[in-house]
Chain A
Amino acid sequence: MKLLEVKNLNAGYGRINVLHGISFAVEEGSVAVLLGANGAGKTTTLRAISGLAKARGEIALDGKSILGVSPDRIARRGVAHCVQGRGTFADLTVAENLLIGAFRRSDKYAIRADQERMFDLFPRLRERAQQKAGSLSGGEQQMLAVARALMLRPRLLLLDEPSLGLAPVIVNGLYEALHRINNEMAVNMLIVEQNANLALELAQYAYVLEAGEIVLAGPASEIASYENVRAAYLG
């Protein structure tokens, strides 16, 4: 069963077309990773799925088209998008960031329980619960962004280079948390990464994007073993 199915997707900014008819899917109950160099179109792909970028082609969630639907409606259907860099609400406290993450939900007690769960997952956030998100370090903001996205109880979590600009030890911690999330909460994910070792360990399926086209697709373990992929993305 395909949770997300993208077919012949074209997207870009203004007149510049970045994606040239790409097709891929995220299976129900799985993690997929999208690899590619800078400018390959990874971010554009995620922005097209969450409704932030204009696109042509087909994007279906659970078999229903979400192409042309506004970002807030797509989010209410259960797609959480962690944008690259800072997607947190700088003027809100950490606790408030988590609460607003649960905007589409009305199950008060479950929201409280999930907030606690996020604090267990990222203990740094508990220490800083009453601090403004804008005063957090880069790593803490990234953890908050992931936690806030999970508060939506997403069917599909889109992560845009979660490791970008973070120290290796923090990246390891973040991926440990993602493994736990995947095991305990069964969240389907589509992860975009440039440095892909950790992402490939987490994912079952991988796609390689080059200049707006998918040039390689297959099980993550298989993709990880290709010599040219190793050279380009695994360092």
Chain B
Amino acid sequence: MSYFGQQFLNGIGSGAIYASLGLALVLIYRATNIVNFAQGEMGAFSAFLIWQLQQWGVPIILALIGAIILSMLIGGLVYAIVVRPVQNREEVTIVIVTIGLFLGFNSASGAIWGYLQKALPSPFPAVTWYLGGLRISGDLVGTCILLAAIVLGLYLLFQHTKIGLTLRAAASNAESSMLVGVPFIWMMIVGWGLSAGVGAISGALVAPHLSLDPNMMITVIIYAFAAAVLGGLASYSGAIVGGLLVGVSQSLTTAYLPSLGADLQVIVPLGIMVAVLAIKPEGLFGRSVMARV
């Protein structure tokens, strides 16, 4: 039982990390209607920013906050310079541009900081609690609290502030938003900035678990996409539930089906995803799009 419990908790730990990047994906999708394949690589770049600030002697928490702010600025600039010119093209064009951004950020991290693995400490205290034979780390608790705080913050921002309403309006109907006076491009810049900020937090959570290198997000982004799609791509709580589901199923697969090996364990979480989408194509928390004529 305690073996199961421990594996379950481990799954929650990695699932929370997938969920954090999944949140960034949902955020940018809701705010700009764009699926950003570069979200993970932008998060890795942000993790390097934390590392760099730390190297310059900035304490880890301040380095984290500084990197979040820098990442938001970079995210906004990326939209203004790279994405805006293709905003009105077909979706395929935008997808290809975000894949280009994926390669660009990956190479930029490598070119600036090199491919040698670096260590980035966890922003949470290194304490461990023992509860009925279960080992609970400060990292796990901190990650979960942080995630809950982000979801609450995003909910309040989008549902209860004028800027949130404006962001939703711009995403819902670009032309109509301009016709009520909304500076549409600025809203897109804010959406990219916000999601880059959440992506930076995700990078800060991933790096201490794996090690900081330009490719650290490549597997994470796959699970994060699985999490976001499981939740319906437009639901914050859906991304959280999806992330935890993927993390726990992955952890339990490793523990109880060792014969699958490290390479094949991916099958189980992705199998669950396929099964869910086959039964409920709009995702666990998604609403099917309804149109009246």
Measured between alpha carbons, how far is A151 from B182 in the docked complex, in Å?
14
Contact residues on A (Cβ < 8 Å of other chain), bracket: 20 to 34
The 0/1 profile, CB within 8 Å of B marked 1, for residues 98-112 of chain A is 011101100000000
**Contact partner, A92, options B168, B179, B290, Cβ 8 Å:** B168
* Cβ-defined contact, B173 with A87, below 8 A: yes
Say if the beta carbon of A50 comes within 8 Å of chain B. Answer: yes
B215 at the interface (CB under 8 A from A): no
- Determine which residue in B165, B178, B184 has the highest number of CB atoms from chain A within 10 A of its CB, and name it: B178
Least CB separation from B159: chain A residue: A96
Shortest CB–CB separation between residue A158 and chain B, in angstroms?
9
For B172, give its contact among A51, A71, A90, A151 (CB under 8 Å): A90
Chain B residues, CB < 8 A from A91: 168, 171-172
Is B292 at the interface (CB under 8 A from chain A)? yes
Interface hits, B135-150 → A, CB 8 Å: none
Contact check, B180 vs A134: say whether CB atoms are below 8 A apart: no
Cβ-neighbour of B173 out of A72, A90, A137 (below 8 A): A90
A104 touches B176 (CB 8 A): no
Q: Is the interface of B mostly helix, strand, loop or mixed?
A: helix
Contacts of B292 in A (CB 8 A): 134-138
Complex contact A103–B180 (CB within 8 A):
yes
Tell me which residues from 108 to 166 in chain A have a Cβ below 8 Å from any Cβ of chain B.
Answer: 134-138, 148, 151-152
Contacting pair A100 B175 (CB below 8 A): no
Query: Looking across the interface, which residue of chain B has its beta carbon closest to that of A132?
Result: B290
Instruction: For the complex formed, measure the closest distance between the CB of A87 and the CB atoms of chain B, giving whole angstroms.
Output: 5
Q: Is A180 an interface residue (CB 8 A)?
A: no
The verdict on A96 contacting B165 (CB below 8 Å), with A89-B172, A91-B172 known, is: yes
In the complex, B183 has a CB within 8 A of chain A? yes
| Known A99-B165, A100-B169, A134-B292; contact A83-B181, beta-carbon cutoff 8 A | no
The docked-state distance in angstroms from the alpha carbon of A51 to that of B184 is 14
CB atoms of A72 and B182 under 8 A apart? yes
Which B residue's beta carbon lies closest to that of A52? B175
**B179 near A87 (CB under 8 angstroms)?**
yes
Q: Give Cα A164–Cα B189 distance, bound, in whole angstroms.
A: 36
- List the B side residues contacting A96 at CB < 8 Å: 165, 168-169
Within 8 Å CB of A75, what residues of B? 178-181
Q: How distant is B41 from chain A, measured CB to nearest CB, in Å? A: 29
Question: Would you call A152 and B293 a contact (CB within 8 A)?
Answer: no
Query: How long is the Cα–Cα vector from A52 to B179 in the complex, in angstroms?
Result: 9
Distance in angstroms between the alpha carbons of A209 and B214 in the assembled complex: 62
Does A61 lie at the interface of the complex (its beta carbon under 8 Å from any beta carbon of B)? no
Q: Is B257 an interface residue (CB 8 A)?
A: no
Asked whether any CB of chain B lies closer than 8 Å to the CB of A44, the reply is no
Q: Does A88 contact B (CB under 8 A)?
A: yes
Q: In the bound complex, how far is the Cα of B142 from the Cα of A97, in angstroms?
A: 38
Bound: A96/B180 CA distance, A: 13
Among the listed A72, A92, A137, which residue makes an inter-chain contact with B181, where contact means beta carbons less than 8 Å apart?
A72
- Chain A residues near B172: list those with CB within 8 A: 89-92
B111 within 8 A of A: no
Given contacts A72-B178, A89-B173, A100-B166, 19 further A-B contacts (CB under 8 A): A52-B175, A71-B175, A72-B183, A72-B184, A75-B178, A75-B180, A75-B181, A83-B176, A87-B173, A87-B176, A89-B168, A90-B291, A91-B171, A99-B165, A104-B181, A134-B291, A138-B292, A151-B180, A152-B181
- Residues of B at the A interface (CB closer than 8 Å) are 165-166, 168-169, 171-173, 175-184, 290-293
6 pairs from A and B in contact (CB 8 Å cutoff): A75-B179, A89-B168, A91-B172, A96-B165, A96-B168, A134-B291
Residues of A within 8 A of B (CB): 50-52, 70-73, 75-76, 80-81, 83, 87-92, 96, 99-101, 103-104, 134-138, 148, 151-152
The 9 closest A-B pairs by CB, nearest first: A75-B181, A71-B178, A91-B172, A104-B181, A76-B181, A89-B172, A100-B169, A72-B178, A103-B180
